[in-house]
Amino acid sequence: MPGWAYCQTKKLFTMKVTVVGAGNVGATCADVLAYREVANEIVLVDIKEGLAEGKALDIWQKAPIDLYDSRTIGSTNDYSKTANSDVVVITSGLPRKPGMSRDDLIGTNAGIVKSVTENIIKYSPDAIIIVVSNPLDVMTYQAHLTSKLPRTRVFGMAGILDTARYRAFLAEALNISPKDIQAMLLGGHGDTMVPLPRYTTVAGIPVTELIDRDKLNAILERTKVGGGELVKLMGTSAWYAPGSATAQMVEAIVKDQRRVFPVCVKLEGEYGIKDCYLGVPVILGKNGIEKIIELDLNAEERALLEASRKHVREVMDVLDKLG
């Protein structure tokens, strides 16, 4: 019977996802993963006693209300519970405070990400790792160095969040549904990101036909400092959109959706750039990054991407000096 066969197949299809860091971003990510039933088992890990266990229990107690079967399990720094994870998300580290740039976090968060990555590899050597900790591009570098995994299996979440902010601002300005807006951006996660109006459409219509240049430029500038705007308002980093953006990446991998997303990855000649971690469009599927997509950039876009590369490379050099 087809129904029975489907149920049997579904039962056999087991996936395990670990989220390291049960703070606002990590807990939001775990909650979205559970609600969307992306994995059978979702493990939350945190260094603070009881925090991961409490949040995992709270998410599980929501299951009868929101009608999902994903089990959430918490652990205080016991990585043995994460063993054989298919995907691991790293959100650990200090969040930004008002007046801080992402780069101010490098010294502290690099040590945290290094330690977390070592524990991940110990118990889940075949996992795909998604880095969310800031400064994002350089923490992806740290995790990649520590894990020694191929670049297609260690990468960072930034572009989905940045394009979401860009699309949300456009939807507000045009008074339309954000569902109909498609966008792309490149570069580092920060003020040097490179939004691409040429690749921004509304239901297939170039956005430049729907909004004047001055308004669009204002939205582009707001997008670049979108994270900082929220830090000023709340006194700490955002979490709803970052957590959901990360969960979307996990889902694309677990379900082999082959989604096209901007993702932070080590470039090895693409866009004429080597040995630098930058956001570029990729196809995301069961093997992690299935393909890096190279866009045909114009001279202005290439210049902006080079400026972004220089900034990220400078911060990577700071990490190298820290040893």
Among all residues, which ones are annotated catalytic?
189
Report residue 313: phi and psi, to 5°: -65, -35
- How far apart (Å, rounded) are the C-alpha atoms in residues 56 and 71? 9
Q: Quick one: DSSP state of residue 256?
A: T
What 3-state DSSP class applies to 208? helix
- How far apart (Å, rounded) are the C-alpha atoms in residues 3 and 5? 5
Count the alpha carbons within 13 Å of 115 in the hemisphere toward its beta carbon: 14
Q: Is the distance from CB of 166 to CB of 286 less than 8 angstroms?
A: no
Q: Is the distance from CB of 193 to CB of 144 less than 8 angstroms?
A: no
Q: Where are the alpha helices (DSSP H) in 13-135?
A: 24-35, 51-61, 63-66, 106-123
Residue 262, both tokens? 């901007």
Residue 15, both tokens? 């996936």
User: Which residues contact residue 55 at a Cβ distance below 8 angstroms, ignoring those fewer than 6 apart?
Assistant: 22, 27, 30, 44, 72, 74
